Amino acid sequence: MVDRDTWLEIFHTVMSNPLRTGLTGLSIALGIFILVVMQGLGTGLETGVNQTFGDDAVNFIRVETGNAQLAYRGRKPNRRVELHNGDVQAMKTEMDSVPALSRL
């Protein structure tokens, strides 16, 4: 238990160094504030990601086109890759485990 002499020593130290005491208190308050803000930002980011991707099905795959980086079977590199209706039909026939396909 803290006795009276200990409290007097604490009070004397605080009063003899007011700048150090104030800066220490300010630093602690600022640290707590930053911690609360960062926790809030993390929670908000998590909620936003969950809302963005929460509607996607767990068995959902998105296939997108882009540019091919390498040459393949006589085709040039950096060419545009395109998907056609025949590609969608081929995916339907080749992938038995996929119940539905949608062309967006």
pLDDT 10s per residue in the chain (104 long)?
A: 789 999 999 899 989 999 999 999 999 999 999 999 999 999 999 999 888 887 776 677 778 888 988 888 888 888 898 888 888 888 888 887 777 777 66
| Domain range for 65 | 56-104
Cβ-contact 91, 101 below 8 angstroms: yes
Look-up of token digits 């080749």: 94
75 and 43 assigned to the same domain? no
62 and 45 assigned to the same domain? no
Cβ-contact 62, 53 below 8 angstroms: no
64 and 41 assigned to the same domain? no
Number of domains forming the structure of the chain: 2
Q: Cα–Cα distance between 81 and 88 in angstroms, integer?
A: 14
pTM over 0.75: no
Q: 68 Cβ partners below 8 Å, 6+ apart?
A: 75, 77, 78, 79, 80, 81
98 and 66 assigned to the same domain? yes
Number of neighbouring beta carbons within 10 Å of residue 59: 9
48 and 64 assigned to the same domain? no
- Report the pLDDT value the prediction gives residue 60, as an integer from 0 to 100: 72
69 and 47 assigned to the same domain? no
- Report the pLDDT value the prediction gives residue 104, as an integer from 0 to 100: 65
75 and 49 assigned to the same domain? no
